[in-house]
Every structure is written in C-alpha cells, then in structure tokens.
C-alpha cells in the first residue's frame, strides 16, 4: 500500500501541489518518517538494519519506500557494499545534509513547546 | 478515512513514537498539510473557506481533521463568530506561532535546493 502510493509519487515528478516553497518542501519531507531517516543518516547510520533499529519502529516496507523516495528526490545516494545478496550503504547528499537547519528548528520547537520530549542539547 | 485515523490519533495522546524531540514534533506536524495551514494562519487567514481557497486544494474533510488535530495539540484556538449555522475563526497560539522558525528553514531549504520553487523573500 505504502509502496504503491510511493511509486505513484515518484512516477509523477509532476506531483507538485503548488509552487509555494513550503509546499514543495513538504512534497518531499512532509510525512512522519522521512526526516527521521535524514536524522539517522546525519548521525552516521547508513545501513538498512541500522535504520530499522532506530527507536520509532519503522517497518521494512515503509523504510524501503522512503529510501527510494529520498534517492529519487536527490537527498541521498547509495553505494553497493556487498554483492550477494546485494546490500547498500546510504549517504546524505549536499541537498539532504542542508536539511539540518530545518531539523534543528523542529527539535528546538519540540524542546521548548512539547512537555514530554527528551531535552536535546543543540550545537 | 482521514477522519477515523485522526480521531484515533487524538484519542491516544499516548500516541508518541519515541521521546526524540524530532519524532515528537513530527507526530504533530509530520504530514503534507498541517504546516501549510499554519502558514495560512500566519498570513492572517482564519476561516474555513480561506483555508480551502489556498493553492494546494486541500479537501474539506482533511481540513476539518487537521484543524481538530491542531486544536487538540494546542497550536490553534478557535472562536465562534456566527451562531446559526455555527462558524469559527482560528488563531495560532504561542505554541503554533513559534513554528515560524522551522517553517522559515524549510522555505529557505526549498528556495536553495529545489529547482521549480517560487522564490520567496524571507524577512
């Protein structure tokens, strides 16, 4: 289900709700998972099992769909590190890395405005 | 469908995937629509039809669900401006307004990294 929807999104790169930059950004990162994967990549995770092991319990099919989506949008690139069976490592591109400011702003907002949040020291 | 899911989310305010502040933020604003409504509120829109008229073509049932969700999360408050039929105006609370920094960061990211985006001058 998530896969089918994701494929439709990728197929139509014409998928764009408006030319408002916020809407364009949310077309790419406006879901519950994508920025969490970018967070994990920023902290040095690169392999499938490392993402699966993060605290939020992402499922394999959502993870696979989001990684495809991130690659198609130019936010990550992947490299083969094992041939049989094929296994990939993922790295943020410059476009992906530059989401750091937005992530930091959301973390700061949560720290200041949401009660039950783990306090995070920001650099 | 969106309504049912939204109601489940609201019912279980225990709905929290982890205590990572980014995950907590995305539990509230991690979808394609919520931040667009916050944007419209920040630009002075307050009534149902004004949100419906925004460029992204939000549907009435998603809009209603998101407004309930924003109110339950303490990001907006509503006031009755007409009794029959009941009609409400919506305003950002301090918690909602303080999302401005994160929105600005996403707009800046889109302006710099996504080609087909309308350039927006940031204050």
Per-residue confidence of chain A (123 residues) as pLDDT tens digits? 445 665 555 555 456 788 999 999 999 999 999 999 999 999 999 999 999 998 899 999 999 999 999 999 999 999 999 999 999 999 999 999 999 999 999 999 999 999 877 766 654
Rounded Cα distance between B63 and B48, Å, is: 8
pTM: 0.86
CA A20, CA A38: separation in Å to the nearest integer?
Answer: 23
Q: Which of residues 4-33 of A touch B (CB under 8 A)?
A: 16-33
Between A and B, how many CB-CB pairs are < 8 A? 141
Could you say which of 1.10.357.10, 2.120.10.70, 1.10.10.10, 3.40.640.10 is the CATH number of the domain covering B2-113?
1.10.10.10
* Alpha-carbon distances of A66 from A71, A83, B5, B26, rounded to whole Å: 8, 22, 21, 15
ipTM value for the complex:
0.85
Contact A19 B106 (CB under 8 A): no
C-alpha to C-alpha distance for B54 and B35, rounded to whole angstroms:
13
Say what the pLDDT of residue A15 is. 60
Residue B99 contacts A where some CB pair is shorter than 8 Å = yes
SS3 A102: helix
DSSP state of B118: P
Of the ranges A50-54, A82-86, B54-58, B87-91, which one carries the lowest mean pLDDT score?
A: B54-58
Burial of B104 (0-12, 13-18, 19+ CB in 10 A): middle
**A32 burial via Cβ count (<10 Å: 0-12, 13-18, 19+):** middle
Of residues B116 and B87, the one with the higher pLDDT is B87
CA-only gyration radius of chain A, Å: 15
For residue B17, the chain A residues in CB contact (below 8 A) are 32, 55-57
* Phi-psi map region of A82: left, alpha, beta (phi>0 left; psi -120 to 50 alpha): beta
Domain ranges for chain A: 2-113
């Amino acid at each position: 289900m998530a896969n089918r929807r994701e494929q439709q999104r990728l197929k139509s790169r014409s998928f764009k709700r408006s030319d408002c930059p916020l809407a364009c950004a949310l077309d790419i990162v406006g879901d519950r998972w994508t920025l969490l994967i970018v967070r994990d990549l920023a902290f040095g995770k690169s392999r499938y099992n490392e993402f699966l092991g993060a605290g939020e319990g992402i499922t394999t099919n959502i993870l696979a769909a989001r990684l495809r989506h991130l690659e198609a949008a130019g936010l990550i690139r992947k490299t083969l590190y094992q041939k049989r069976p094929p296994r990939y490592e993922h790295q943020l591109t410059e476009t992906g890395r530059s989401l750091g400011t937005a992530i930091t702003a959301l973390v700061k907002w949560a720290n200041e405005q949401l009660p039950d949040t783990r306090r995070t020291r920001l650099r």
